[in-house]
Each structure stands twice: as structure tokens, then as C-alpha cells.
């Protein structure tokens, strides 16, 4: 079995393709993952879908066939041919898959290096698959270590500080254009996490914020979480609002554009609209003085961000590489420990069986049973001490898998059933 990850991101696809690949609802995600698991090739699966990436994280018994089947299912969902998907996809297996997902969790593969949202999004994707029974112990171990790696990078570097999100980048771009944001009206459309981040950065930059959403109750609740006054406007007023504000940021989960030629009024001043949703919220619109920016248009701010964070990123990549190696050492040790434990357990069962038979046949007295048991256990412990120690050392070598499999076949059975599902210590929201 191999770890297999198929990745589409801002690095290998433009926003038009990412729109087609995006999964807008939990039902879509569930159906897609179930389709992957319906064959005998893919055994576990997690699907991460954000504005900048789609990551399909799996365990596969055959990397080549698994890749083919995954891309075929993704082609059915997106309408993009599997040949085009294959040419665009970044495909990782085993060592490279581990390194990649550790990099993703640590925000080193993000459009904005160090952005803090990705690890939470990855945790949500993992929780979703776990709740649906789509992943088991092997993937749980991988995700556990990925979150541990992300926490280590965050604590060891300053990558998670400052303006490090798509939302903050959009606001930074707006502020660069507007210069003096005091008394400038800014409209935010949507009441989700990205909108919350956008409002936070708009307020700190001095903008006067108006919030609107189809879910007016959710918008009102969001507005109450800020100390500054935020005007909450009915969504029915969207058209008039678009004609009144200089800056607008939209981040809804709508599967189609909510702003089109038809509901875009003319204005006598320049307007700057930032669409940080995927699929995009804003259609192709031609209006004098209207400037529309999508996620991919924020690259100049991103490049500046990269140059400032290059040294920190170098340190972070070192951590990722180190922890990728540690992960495989840890996996091998987990394979060894149940084998050693089972050898001792089976030895104890043999002692129990032979003692019972010896007492029945009158070879030993019942009152001597405990002393003889202790003697037998001492013999077994001393006999297995050196082999156990050598097994644990072998876990660090390349031949570990062969040795473990051989011992399992010779002395144990159903070893996997004795391994409890590993609980993740790094699944908290923070």
C-alpha cells in the first residue's frame, strides 16, 4: 500500500480550471470520495478543496492504476478530460506524498506563503472523511504528523505572523491603490470565514465596512463580533450598493457568478472589486472605471511576501524534510512494536496452557503454579530480549518491511487488528 496524492493548485492550474475542479458542498465531496473507494485500488481518501487548491489524499495498492481511476472520476465530476487533468496534475507517492502534504499543512505550498487558513481547512477535510468512514489508521497517522509538522513550523518561524492570507493580500492591494483609506466605503459580500478575515483587515486599514449576505442573520451575527461599527445591508440592495462603494470584496460559496453585467450599475468614480471566491463570484463585466481582481491577480503582493519570508521559508522547508524522515521512522517503529508485544503475549498464552495441562496431569502442585509461572516468564523475557532489541533497531533500516512481514507470517496473525486507531493530538482548531 502506498500514499498517493494528486494535487491541483495555483502552481499548475489557472483559476478557470480550479473553478471546474472545486467542490462546493459536502454532498459533492462525499459522493466523489465514495466513487474513489468503490474500486479495489483506493482504500482510504481525503478531499481538500479550497479557493487555491484541490488535494486528493489516498492510500492505494497500485499507484499507476490508482492515479488513472482518480483522474477518471475527477473528469466525470469536472467535465475536464482525464488527459488534460493528467498533464496538469502534480502526482506524489510515498516519500514525495508525505513531504508534499507536510508542506501544504505548513502553508509552504500556498499562494501566500505562511497563510494561516490552510491547516484549519486540512483539519476540516480530515474530520469530514473520518466522520464518513473514508479514512482509517494509515491516513490518520499521516494527518497526525502533518498537523504536528505545521505546529512545529509555526512555532519555529515567523511565517504565520503579519498579513498572510488571500483576504489580507486583497486588502493590501486595495490599500496600495486607494492610499488613504480613511472614510472610504468598502463592501464585503458573504459571511463566512474568508469574509470575517477580510473585514478584520479592512477595519485595521481604516475602511468603513458594509456587510451583506444572502443569510442576513449570519451577517448580523458576524458584524456583532467586531468592536467597530459595521453596517449590515439587505442582500436585495446589492445592485445599489455596488454603485456606492469604491472597494468591494466578495467571498461567497455560490456555484455561479452573483455579480453580472445586469446587476452592475454605472458609477462616476473608480471602483476596485476583489473576487477571492472559487468559483468566481464576478462575471466578465465591462464598465468604465471598474477594475476587477481575482485570486490570480494578486501575484505582485504575493511575490513581495515571498521575498520577505524567503529565509523563514528555508528554515520551514528544513523542518518539513526532517519531519518527513521522522514520520517513516515512526511508522516503522509502530509496525515493530505490535510484533514484539504479540510475541510476548503468545508466549504467555503458551505458559498458561502448559501450566494448566501440567496441573491436571499432576506434574506440578497447584500451590506452585505462580512461582513456576514467574520462572517461565523470566526465561521468556531473557530469551526474547535480544531479538526484541534487534527488531527495534531493524525498524531504522530499509529491510524493515521484509523482516516484519516474515515474523508476522511465522509467529503472529491478524497483527493489524491489534493496532488501535491512532488518536490525533493536533486536531484542535488552534
Q: Are the C-beta atoms of residues 167 and 197 closer than 8 Å to each other?
A: yes
pLDDT band at 114 (very low <50, low <70, confident <90, very high): confident
Spatial neighbors of 261 by CB under 8 A, at least 6 apart, are 283, 285, 286
- Please name which of 44, 64, 196, 67 lies closest in space to residue 133, comparing C-alpha atoms: 44
Q: Measured at the alpha carbon of residue 413, what is the angle toward residues 408 and 418, in degrees to the nearest 5?
A: 100
pLDDT band at 306 (very low <50, low <70, confident <90, very high): low
**Residue 427 in this model has a pLDDT that exceeds 70:** no
pLDDT tens-place string over residues 354-370: 999 999 998 989 899 99
What local confidence, expressed as pLDDT, does residue 163 receive? 52
CB-facing half-sphere around the CA of 126: CA atoms within 13 A? 26
Q: How far apart are CA 43 and CA 65, in angstroms?
A: 13
Per CATH, the number for 171-303 is 3.40.50.720
Q: How far apart are CA 75 and CA 59, in angstroms?
A: 20
What local confidence, expressed as pLDDT, does residue 329 receive? 77
Beta-sheet pairing, 290-294 with 231-233: unpaired
pLDDT band at 421 (very low <50, low <70, confident <90, very high): very low
Q: How is 293-346 classified by DSSP, letter by letter?
A: EEGGGGHHHHHHHHHHHHHHHHHHHHHHHHHHHHHHHHHHHHHHHHHHHHHHHH
What local confidence, expressed as pLDDT, does residue 411 receive? 64
Q: Comparing 20-24, 97-101, 386-390, which segment has the lowest mean pLDDT?
A: 386-390
What local confidence, expressed as pLDDT, does residue 24 receive? 84
| Over residues 162-190, mean pLDDT | 86
Beta-sheet pairing, 53-60 with 2-9: antiparallel
pLDDT tens-place string over residues 153-162: 988 887 766 5
Residue of 51, 135, 149, 424 marked catalytic: 51
Mean pLDDT for all residues in the chain: 87
Beta-sheet pairing, 231-233 with 247-250: unpaired
3-class secondary-structure state, position 81: coil
| Over residues 256-278, mean pLDDT | 94
What local confidence, expressed as pLDDT, does residue 214 receive? 94
Per CATH, the number for 2-161 is 3.30.460.30
What local confidence, expressed as pLDDT, does residue 161 receive? 63
Strand residues in 50-152 grouped as ranges (E): 53-60, 90-93
What local confidence, expressed as pLDDT, does residue 266 receive? 93
What local confidence, expressed as pLDDT, does residue 344 receive? 86
Residue 376 annotated in active site: no
Q: How far apart are the first and last CA of the chain?
A: 32
pLDDT tens-place string over residues 195-216: 999 999 999 999 999 999 999 9
What local confidence, expressed as pLDDT, does residue 330 receive? 79
Q: How far apart are CA 322 and CA 313, in angstroms?
A: 14
Q: How is 10-43 classified by DSSP, letter by letter?
A: TTT--HHHHHHH---SHHHHHHHHHHHHTSSSEE
| Over residues 227-241, mean pLDDT | 95
Residue range(s) in the chain whose domain bears CATH number 3.40.50.720 = 171-303
Residue bearing the bigger pLDDT, 406 or 48? 48
pLDDT band at 146 (very low <50, low <70, confident <90, very high): very high
Q: How far apart are CA 85 and CA 21, in angstroms?
A: 10
| pTM, to two decimals | 0.70
Q: Count CB atoms within 10 A of the CB of residue 3.
A: 22
| Over residues 56-83, mean pLDDT | 96
pLDDT tens-place string over residues 235-266: 999 999 999 999 999 999 898 999 999 999 99
Residue range(s) in the chain whose domain bears CATH number 3.30.460.30 = 2-161
Q: How far is CA 178 from the centre of its chain?
A: 35
Amino acid at each position: 500500500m502506498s500514499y498517493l496524492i494528486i494535487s491541483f493548485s495555483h502552481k499548475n492550474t489557472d483559476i478557470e480550471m480550479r473553478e471546474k475542479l472545486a467542490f462546493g458542498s459536502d454532498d459533492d465531496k462525499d459522493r466523489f470520495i465514495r466513487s474513489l473507494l468503490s474500486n479495489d485500488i483506493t482504500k482510504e481518501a481525503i478531499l481538500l478543496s479550497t479557493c487555491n487548491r484541490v488535494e486528493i489524499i489516498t492510500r492505494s495498492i497500485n499507484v499507476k492504476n490508482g492515479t488513472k481511476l482518480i483522474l477518471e472520476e475527477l473528469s466525470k465530476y469536472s467535465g475536464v478530460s482525464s488527459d488534460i487533468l493528467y498533464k496538469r496534475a502534480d502526482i506524489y507517492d510515498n516519500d514525495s506524498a508525505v513531504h508534499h502534504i507536510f508542506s501544504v499543512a505548513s502553508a509552504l505550498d500556498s499562494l501566500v506563503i505562511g497563510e494561516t487558513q490552510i491547516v484549519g481547512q486540512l483539519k476540516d477535510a480530515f474530520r469530514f472523511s473520518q466522520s464518513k468512514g473514508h479514512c482509517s489508521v494509515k491516513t490518520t497517522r499521516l494527518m497526525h504528523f502533518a498537523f504536528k509538522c505545521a505546529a512545529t513550523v509555526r512555532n519555529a518561524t515567523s511565517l504565520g505572523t503579519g498579513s498572510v492570507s488571500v483576504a489580507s493580500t486583497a486588502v493590501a492591494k486595495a490599500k496600495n491603490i486607494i492610499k488613504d483609506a480613511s472614510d472610504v466605503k468598502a463592501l464585503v459580500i458573504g459571511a463566512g470565514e474568508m469574509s470575517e478575515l477580510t473585514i478584520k483587515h479592512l477595519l485595521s486599514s481604516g475602511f468603513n465596512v458594509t456587510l451583506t449576505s444572502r443569510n442576513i442573520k449570519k451577517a448580523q451575527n458576524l458584524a456583532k463580533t467586531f468592536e467597530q461599527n459595521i453596517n449590515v445591508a439587505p442582500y436585495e440592495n446589492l445592485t445599489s450598493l455596488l454603485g456606492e462603494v469604491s472597494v468591494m470584496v466578495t467571498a461567497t460559496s455560490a456555484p455561479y457568478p452573483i455579480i453580472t453585467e445586469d446587476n452592475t450599475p454605472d458609477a462616476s468614480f473608480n471602483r476596485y472589486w476583489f473576487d477571492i471566491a472559487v468559483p468566481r463570484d464576478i462575471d466578465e463585466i465591462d464598465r468604465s472605471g471598474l477594475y476587477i481582481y481575482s485570486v490570480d491577480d494578486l501575484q505582485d503582493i504575493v511575490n513581495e511576501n515571498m521575498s520577505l519570508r524567503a529565509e523563514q521559508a528555508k528554515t520551514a522547508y528544513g523542518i518539513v524534510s526532517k519531519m518527513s524522515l521522522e514520520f517513516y521512522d515512526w511508522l516503522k517503529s509502530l509496525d515493530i512494536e505490535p510484533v514484539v508485544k504479540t510475541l510476548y503475549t503468545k508466549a504467555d498464552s503458551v505458559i498458561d496452557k502448559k501450566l494448566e495441562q501440567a496441573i491436571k496431569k499432576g506434574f506440578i502442585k497447584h500451590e506452585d503454579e505462580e512461582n513456576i509461572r514467574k520462572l517461565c516468564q523470566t526465561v521468556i523475557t531473557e530469551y526474547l530480549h535480544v531479538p526484541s532489541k534487534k527488531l527495534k533497531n531493524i525498524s531504522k533500516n530499509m529491510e524493515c518491511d521484509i523482516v516484519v512481514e516474515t515474523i508476522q507470517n511465522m509467529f503472529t496473525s491478524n497483527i493489524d487488528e491489534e493496532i488501535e486507531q491512532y488518536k490525533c493530538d493536533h486536531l484542535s482548531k488552534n
